[in-house]
Amino acid sequence: MLMRQPCPSLQFAYQPPFGANVNNTGAQFSVFSRSATAMRLLLYNEVTDTEPSEIIAFDRDTDRWGDVWSLNVPSLAHGQLYHFQASGPWDPDNGHRFDPAARLIDPYAQALAGEFQPGVDGVVRPPKCVVIDDEFDWEGDRHIRHDISETVIYEMHVKGFTNSKTARIETGGSYLGVIEKIPYLKSLGITAVELMPVNEFPIKDMHGNQMENGNYWGYDPMAFFSPHRGYAHDQTPGSQVREFKQMVKALHAADIEVILDVVFNHTCEGNEKGPTLSFRGLENQVYYMLSQGQHYCNYSGCGNTLNGNHPVVREMIFHCLRHWVHNYHVDGFRFDLASILSRDRNGDLIPNPPMVELISEDPLLADTKIIAEAWDAAGAYQVGSFGNHRWAEWNGRYRDDVRGFWRGDEGTLGALATRLAGSSDLYEHAGRPPFCSINFVTSHDGFSMNDLVSYKDKHNVANNEENCDGDNHNISDNYGVEGPTEIESVNLIRNRQIKNMMATLLLSQGVPMIVSGDEVRRTQGGNNNAYCQDNDTSWFDWDLVEQNSEMLRFVQGLIRFRREQPSVRRKTYLTGQPVDERLIPDVSWFAPDGEQLDWGRQTLAMVAYIAAPNHADDPQCLGRDIVMMFNSTGQERDFVIPHFENGSRWNLFVDTAAESPADIFPELNGPMPTLDQPLSVAHHSFKVFVRQNR
């Protein structure tokens, strides 16, 4: 009888068919180009070299297989630096932009090293590609596989999270710096970090200068398969690969998943006036959407649009996703401007786009979470209609409706109730469950939570674009003073409004996403488009953890409650119908006086009663009944707790108008109300009560 032997060191690795791969004799270099007439491999000894130490020409007869150029170079090893160089037609009218002098980044490069180097010959010298040793001792690490319905996402920037001097660590601004701050993430209670782009993007400009208005956020991809070298603590070429894996491994050990924000909609090569760095010099008409042959379609708002539904580009994206999942153990992806993936090669939006369907059905991505930013920069808005049940979406409607209600906008009560209940209007018609909605009030793009209640207008002058950049529709308010103030009444309402929106977010059906620093009132000084602010404007100020410990405690308590109470993270929609033998509807809506709510009245106050089924044989149904009292009016209001059962006993859980520590009771042991008397709910505030289990 054959016995199965454990092999703890064995890890599934995914080997892309292109790029540079070390073998027993040397290194194999493979690159796609259909129209090139010649291909060359440029080898370098040092990162600072401006000229190659050796140039090896591919033999067109023996080193080309169909449209793939492939060459084995004996005796090469990990750490080798290289570029490609391709000759071919210069015919912009027909989409060809070959430049035989250009140094080209390998589209499948697994790491880059160095910066752009100026040359007296006018040729741009981009960072060099690195042949990578992919060996790493994962020590049995696997994907965590948290159910998405139980997920709490924390959107963060790798560098900005620890680069401030207030982080007080030696590895600040790096993957290793994130590891040092894992205890904080654990204390917060989140289940996943969503990292803003970590694939390679330019740090310096094409002349080797630090960019005055550079892309700090990283939404300007240069090499999709490569972890960003700028976030490595060790600057040895290729060290970013090891350090990124160390970060993922450490986060997994803390039971925290890693979701990557990926940008498969454009590249940093820009429009027809941009530099030739990689894709343009290898097969321009395949990698990009073109108009009339020579002009770049700009559905991304960044100068060009990746041709994601071309079979070659589609294959590259798949190889890239699999590479990050199986070689870096990442747990999911958020697709920036994902509606571009719904456009065909002519740029038209199409039903059932193959790229979107293939990502959701790919067997090697089955363990991952896939999240769409379901719009693009050319007018497509697909929130509620992007993909199938495997796809979750950033719910922009949730953001706008929650902001509008708490600002006091008339006619927003019904919209708030719909968002609180899981946005069935957007997803149920297609058979998609509530967890397809990624709920958020703020994201990296726009005001921070603190600034949302401190500024009516954007203040982006520091971006050097004359305050013309960034969204003008922020649904924000300053409550009397623009920016910081010492007026106590203004600060009081601002603090209350942050708690209102945080509590709404973390008690809504769907999946909540919090932006790094919002839990401690991080500010960007009113800048709602801080993409170029690689400074204290964007960095996490760790002094705020102590200064705003009251807000931190409040958010921690809400996250803990969410993770312990399945009543607020259901997998099916609330129906308003009884769910068990108690004959209590799963959700009921009341006016403050306890009467049935009249949705036609223009009011901004209501009660939501969320009933927890008592089916003891179904762990998903265990939980507590919850009563939420919303008052976004300018006056204090009296409320009553609806009566469904005699002998019900309730505890106060949240009161956003109360001073800490009476604003939240994480142990669910808050004061018990007198049920036969009205309860006072302050203006612009939110109270939550939980029913004691029998």
**Looking at the annotation, which residues are catalytic?**
336, 373
**C-alpha radius of gyration, the chain, whole number:** 27
Q: What is the DSSP letter of 238?
A: T
Contact 529/445 with Cβ under 8 angstroms? Answer: yes
> What are phi and psi for residue 5, nearest 5 degrees?
-100, 130
Q: Which amino acid is at 170?
A: E
Q: Which amino acid is at 431?
A: G
Q: What is the DSSP letter of 206?
A: T
Strands, E, within 617-691: which ranges?
A: 626-631, 637-639, 650-655, 679-681, 685-691
Cα–Cα distance for residue pair 608/264, rounded to 1 Å: 41
Give the C-alpha distances (Å, rounded to integers) separating 487 from 455, 527, 547.
15, 22, 18
> What are phi and psi for residue 672, nearest 5 degrees?
-95, 125
What number of residues does the chain have?
A: 694
Cα–Cα distance for residue pair 166/162, rounded to 1 Å: 8
Q: Residue 652 CB: number of other CB atoms within 10 A?
A: 21
| Tokens describing residue 478 | 């300053």
Contact 358/318 with Cβ under 8 angstroms? Answer: yes
Give the C-alpha distances (Å, rounded to integers) separating 322 from 13, 332, 362.
9, 11, 9
Contact 568/197 with Cβ under 8 angstroms? Answer: no
Residue located via tokens 């956020």: 217
- Give the SS3 label for residue 497: helix
Pairing of strands 295-296, 128-130: unpaired
Taking Cα atoms as reference points, which of 208, 161, 210 lies closest to residue 532? 210
Rounded to 10 degrees, what is the CA torsion of 237, 240, 246, 247? 160
Cα–Cα distance for residue pair 667/72, rounded to 1 Å: 64
